[in-house]
Amino acid sequence: MKQILIVIIMFSFFGCGKNNKSKSNEKNASETEIKSGTEMLPFFGEITLSNARGYEIDDVKINDNIVSIDLNFEEDKINPESLKSVRKILNNISDIDKKIKKQILEYLDEDGVVKEYFKFHIDEIDSETLNDYIKDTDQNLSIELRLFSKTKLKRIGFYPDSPKSIAVFDYRVFSELSDEILVIVLDRNGEIEKITIES
């Protein structure tokens, strides 16, 4: 009787351990599967690859700007490869903003979209409102340069499924009175592909 009892206790002990180990393995496998189905992105956090919905975050501070950032997909599922360029741009977003502003400044004196953008506001906004708007800027500078100093990055949109143009940086001046946007389109390397005006 004693021997039978010892056998039952041993069987019960080892059986329990086996079940616990099995459940533990199942849990670890499940956690791995969940983790492999997501990607981490700066600002956005965890992105679920099986759910290609739109993502948006507001009130992100980038340099001196308060910006909204959105992430837009065309496919039903997210290809992790398509997020690599997004991650690269997000990781270098402050430097990219500074680089874009420098490029806008260089184009300011040339005939083209950038000059047209600022000329539109100078022509369309009455002089009293315009002068009031730029009163805290350096008065030794041209009106274009003073307006440029008031231009702010307002939105960044990402389009990972796009074959070439992956991101747009929207800059605005006179946001209260004008819906004109200076749009900087970036390629997958974070380089400027084109500049357009939208409203």
Q: What is the DSSP string of 35-55?
A: HHTEEEETTTEEEETT----E
pLDDT tens digits for 16-65?
444 444 444 444 433 433 346 899 999 999 999 988 888 999 999 999 99
Q: What is the DSSP string of 45-105?
A: EEEETT----EEEEEEEETTEEEEEEE--SSSS--GGGHHHHHHHHHTHHHHHHHHHHHHH
Report the pLDDT value the prediction gives residue 17, as an integer from 0 to 100. 46
Say yes or no to pLDDT of 120 above 60. yes
Q: How many percent of the chain have pLDDT more than 90?
A: 69
The arithmetic mean of pLDDT across residues 93-120, rounded, is: 95
pTM (2 decimals)?
0.79
Report the pLDDT value the prediction gives residue 36, as an integer from 0 to 100. 60
Q: Which residue has the tokens 């492999």?
A: 36
Q: Which residue has the tokens 């708007």?
A: 133
Beta bridge partners of 169: 156, 184
